[in-house]
Amino acid sequence: MEIFFGLFLFFLLLPSGASLECETCSSEGNSCSGSKQTCLDGLDTCMTVTTAAGGTTTTSKLCFSKKACELLKDEGTFSGGTIKEVTCKAPSASASLLLALSGLLLIKFLF
């Protein structure tokens, strides 16, 4: 019975710790800063994009899909301007592994 309770706790805590959070902001210039936002399902990458249009440079940070972010890197232009730089940061696999190991250690100490 204890093992079932331990597994229940592990799977209960796993989804809440696995959510991706990205800084979100948009500002004129080459950088911006803002608050962290939990990304919706399917948005698995934190993207930073710097664009130039009409003599103004704008930087935005947001949740995005990895596939779409990589495609945007290759695009180079958008309607009305140019894409100067795109950075796609996905969570590392080691972070997920660390979370899983932490859950297993929690079960070990509880029982």
**CATH label of the domain that carries residue 39:** 2.10.60
> Residues 11, 37: one domain?
no
| Rounded distance between C-alpha atoms, residue 55 and residue 77, angstroms | 14
pLDDT tens profile 10-57: 554 444 445 899 999 999 999 999 999 999 999 999 999 999 999 999
Q: At residue 36, what is the residue type? A: K
Secondary structure percentages of the chain, helix, strand, coil, to 5: 40, 35, 25
The H or E element that residue 51 is part of is strand 45-53
> Residues 51, 103: one domain?
no
Give pLDDT, residue 12: 46
In this prediction the pTM is: 0.66
Residue 91 pLDDT level (bands cut at 50, 70, 90): confident
SS3 79: coil
Q: Which domain holds residue 14?
A: 1-20+93-111
> Residues 33, 62: one domain?
yes
> Residues 27, 79: one domain?
yes
Give pLDDT, residue 90: 86
pLDDT tens profile 49-72: 999 999 999 999 999 999 999 999
